[in-house]
Chain A
Amino acid sequence: MTTSRDISFHLNGVSTERSVNVRKTLADFLREDCGATGTHLGCEHGVCGACTILHNGEPVRSCLMLAVQADGTELTTIEGLSPQGELGAIPRAMKSNYAFQCGFCTPGFLISIAALLQDGNRPDERSIREVLSGNICRCTGYESIVNGVIAVVAETEASES
């Protein structure tokens, strides 16, 4: 009864084709079928945000999408933010600010931050906290993460002036 479908999409800029079971979630598909284990499952209820990825440039919970819904889309995961293992600007700022501890929530945070700072957006601390309230961390108490985001915004402002 359960069927499979062929899908093709871009994962972190790389054209990818797969055959996938229709009931498989996008998160599981990325982790098991695409070797992209950087995206993590913290709850599978859509609440914790650890599974957040970019879907056509917008943040989505990959645990709340089916893999088949990736067909024809551009997906970005945490690996895509640091191509060839070279830390991108956002991860670098997070490292300088000791943002994370155990790292399990990190993929969702980095993607949410990337989405937040798109289009030259320069949120203040209040906005940063509001937007990132959709990502749960159990280790840090968030201050170091917020500091990292503020640092990225400041860097962007400095480089533009």
Chain B
Amino acid sequence: MTTVPTQRFVGTSVPRAEDDRILSGTATYVDDLQLPGMLHAVFFRSPLAHANILQIDVSEARSLPGVHAVLTGIDIEALLNPEAGSPGIWMSENVQFPVIAITRVRFVGDLIAVVVAESRYLAEDAAELIEVDYEPLQVIVDAATALDPSSEPIFEDLGCNLAAEPTCNTHGDLEAVFAKADRIFSTEIKQHRHQNVPMECRGCVADFDPVSGRLTHHGSNQGVGRSKTTLAEQLGLEADQVRVLCNDIGGSFGLKIGASREEIAVAAISRHLGHPIKWTEDRSEHMTASGHAREETLEVDAAITEEGHVLGMKVRMVCDTGSYPALGRHLGAIVERMFPGPYNIEALQFEYVPVVTNKAPYIAYRGPWAAETFTRERVLDLVANELDIDPVEIRFRNLRSHREAPGQMVTGRTLASCTARESLEALLNEVDFDSFRSEQDAARAEGRYIGIGVATYIEAAPGPRNDVDLGDETLRVRLEEDGTVSVFTSQMPHGQGHETTFAQIAADEMGVDFSQVRVVVGDSDLVPHGGTGGSRAAAMAGGATLHAARNLAERTREIAAELLEASSSDIELSEGTARVRGVPASAIQLAEVAKASLSDTPAESQSHSLEIEENYKGGQGGWSGGTHCALVEVDVETGQVRIDRYVVIEDCGTLINPAIVDGQIRGGIAQGIGAVLLEHSAYDPDGNFLASTFMDYLLPSTTEVPRMEIQHLESIPNDPDVNFRGVGEGGMIVAPPTLVNAIEDALTPYNVMITEQHLPPQRIMELLQGMQPSSK
């Protein structure tokens, strides 16, 4: 019989286990590490966007006192496994490139050489002495040039500048749908390049022990397993010869996944020189070279009715994936499948064209597929304006309800228990639109321009079980000899509070105090394979923790039952003890139970083992989602935007730790605000990167991010046990269209139609320039 415990910790905002060390300054981030004999690596990076390397002279650099080595691409290649594929976790079988460039550099910041010295200061001195002869090549920084067949292929292997063969898929009866439409609404939606910018840049300390032949790699990463696999492969080591350790991580948002080219090089150098080697990326390197995201343009033809029903869409998405293969090549498939969202769209044609350019690689950034929500929510507002229909009303005319028969997106994803429509209904209880419209009219009469914007979305966190392989989540729990509970997870927290949330779940199942659970992360010798990403932690690892801990509780009760000479169905776990229900005096400490299991005979020991491994396949999965609403004021004399109110209706199922959930939502929204109003990873026509410092790449601060009103819907349980769903990416996905919708609404008297995501003050003035407000 499976006992479902009382929830004491799940659902409460338990203070975070991580906080004591973070707040006392004793957390350990990778740059804090100092190992005996440690040396420092600095990368010499390309100042040109596209060039052949003719000659490299490192002789002067090598002879500088304090320099231990200067290695070029050829030197590094000789240290690596020749059988290994090209570095990188995103499949790139058809493109060969070395870890450090040998013959060609492909973006400003590309890797040319590595200096290893006694200090970073000295290494930088030496790096300045490296001389390189280049043969400049055609610089390609826009999709049109990339698609021009006469342009220089940035990768000879590809023969052109398409990162992958373009795809074009049709779902539903497109022809019929377009034929029955009243009209076709066409537009082109543009997202601009911006990036993750965690507060901690990338870095590692690679420590190869020549005696054991083992590499211990200290990293800052979303999953030790993936790094380990890459490092083992690239260095030609057996998997058990590599141990990856991650301690505290200063944010990532999708950036720090797998071992980077720099980390591979540093690991190889550690083996070569017999010293631990530290590499810490500085902020300028980070902005320039760690990777960017979101640069895509979507041409849309929407088949609509006069009543504002969006029957079908034809979409052509062109994505600027930068140079080296990364996520950008594969993004289209994800966007395509998500594109209909929670709406009744009957047909979709989706073409994806990923282009290669001389820019930093396109990497994963919180909600990488966000273009589907931005485009769809923008198009809805544009169509609403075109047909003179209220933007909230048009959404109601198109949104599915969970009360309807479980539906499917025309792309095949099921929409069971999706409450997007309900979240919009709930929003109307929080925001009085009629009252706002009166305020808006009054403001306009005074020459002030306020606006309101709404956007609805869903995110696969992790998504419905039956249409996607969620991948298993393996997790172990163990009752220790001292009565504490250990949870071994592949999840790698970097701000999301996993050490806290999984402990809450396990504590509830095992009847122990929250402080008696230790969540073990960040050691590839100890934790299962896997990692954090795709908003999987809450559902997948939360679910795995729940089931593993529940099984552990069951096993514990069985052993306790033997000790207490009772039936296991009469045993309850409570307050760190096992006892016969109704007989408090019978209680024995869990430590006793643990010790008893260790002294079992070999025959018994396996079935009595208090270490349980759970291979969780994901339960029923489900969607998270909701509706966001922003109220803004636009200063039409300067183009500056102020957000006066931001309301969130969110459904992410059962909340494990409400404070942590709200924190994730707010952080994502802040990044969305940054994207629209401040952040731009800009290049000039020569491929020079223009946003390499925080003076140029502007992040939102306390004066740009407002308070947010967050309401959680009680969701429809989809699964008997695991109804936690992820929430990490949603804020960042839906905040940009929410804001842009609000800004356009504010500027209605100016008849401004906005089809882009980046709206700094100058851009807003350009949209307004020459346009006098109408009296409408």
Contact = CB atoms under 8 A, between A and B. Distances in A.
- Chain B associates with chain A: yes
Interface of A: 21, 23-24, 31-32, 36-45, 47-48, 50, 77-79, 81-82, 85, 87, 91-92, 94-96, 98, 100-107, 110, 128-130, 132-146
6 residue pairs, one from A and one from B, having the closest CB atoms: A38-B25, A104-B250, A141-B666, A103-B22, A102-B495, A101-B495
Nearest to A32: B34
27 contacts: A32-B34, A37-B29, A40-B29, A43-B693, A45-B283, A48-B199, A79-B26, A81-B24, A82-B23, A82-B24, A87-B24, A95-B16, A95-B20, A95-B23, A100-B23, A101-B663, A101-B667, A102-B251, A103-B23, A129-B703, A133-B702, A135-B702, A138-B197, A140-B667, A142-B702, A143-B666, A144-B663
Given A103-B250, A136-B701, A140-B663, A82 B25 contact: yes
Contacts, number: 172
Given A40-B29, A48-B199, A104-B29, A24 B121 contact: yes
Contacts of A87: 20, 23-24
Nearest to A125: B707
A48 B708 CA distance: 23
A43 B19 contact: no
B221 interface: no
B28 A101 contact: no
Q: Secondary structure at chain B's binding surface: helix, strand, loop or mixed?
A: loop
Interface string B190-228: 000000011110000000000000000000000000000
Nearest to B671: A138
A142 B699 contact: no
Contacts of A142: 666, 670, 701-702, 705
B15 A95 contact: yes
B681 to A, nearest CB: 15
B23 A98 contact: no
Given A101-B497, A102-B198, A141 B667 contact: yes
Interface of B: 13, 15-16, 18-20, 22-29, 31-32, 34, 121, 197-200, 248-251, 253, 282-283, 494-497, 659-660, 662-664, 666-671, 693-695, 699, 701-703, 705, 707-708
A98 B25 contact: no
B199 A138 contact: yes
B699 A138 contact: yes
A109 B206 CA distance: 31
Contacts of B31: 31, 37, 41
Q: Secondary structure at chain A's binding surface: helix, strand, loop or mixed?
A: loop
Nearest to B34: A32
Among B25, B660, B695, find the residue whose CB has the most chain A CB atoms closer than 10 A: B25
A43 B694 contact: yes
A92 to B, nearest CB: 8
A44 B199 contact: no
B249 A102 contact: yes
Nearest to A82: B24
Contacts of B667: 101, 138-141
Nearest to B21: A103
Among B15, B29, B701, B708, find the residue whose CB has the most chain A CB atoms closer than 10 A: B701
A132 B23 CA distance: 17
B26 A47 contact: no
A107 B199 CA distance: 12
A104 B708 contact: no
A139 B495 contact: yes
Nearest to A2: B121
B250 A40 contact: yes
Given A103-B18, A138-B671, A31 B32 contact: yes
A104 B199 contact: yes
Given A47-B693, A129-B703, A141-B670, A100 B19 contact: yes
Contacts of A98: 13, 15-16, 659-660, 663
B199 to A, nearest CB: 4
A42 B200 contact: yes
A130 B248 CA distance: 29
Nearest to A136: B699
Nearest to A106: B22
A48 B694 contact: yes
B497 A133 contact: no
A141 B23 contact: no
A76 B193 CA distance: 39
Contacts of A138: 197-199, 251, 253, 667, 670-671, 699
A64 to B, nearest CB: 13
A9 B20 CA distance: 28
A160 B15 CA distance: 27
Contacts of B282: 44
Contacts of B25: 36-39, 77-79, 81-82, 107
Contacts of A128: 702
A129 B639 CA distance: 22
A105 B200 CA distance: 9
Contacts of A91: 23-24
Given A32-B34, A103-B27, A142-B702, A95 B19 contact: yes
Nearest to B710: A143
A92 B121 CA distance: 37
Contacts of A92: 23
A45 B24 contact: no
Among A31, A47, A106, A138, find the residue whose CB has the most chain B CB atoms closer than 10 A: A138
A132 B25 CA distance: 19
Contacts of A96: 15
A63 to B, nearest CB: 10
A110 B702 CA distance: 15
A104 B708 CA distance: 23
Given A47-B695, A136-B694, A139-B199, 18 more contacts: A38-B24, A39-B25, A45-B694, A77-B25, A91-B24, A94-B19, A101-B251, A102-B249, A103-B22, A103-B248, A128-B702, A133-B703, A138-B198, A139-B495, A141-B666, A141-B705, A144-B659, A146-B702
A50 B25 CA distance: 12
Nearest to A48: B694
A102 B671 CA distance: 15
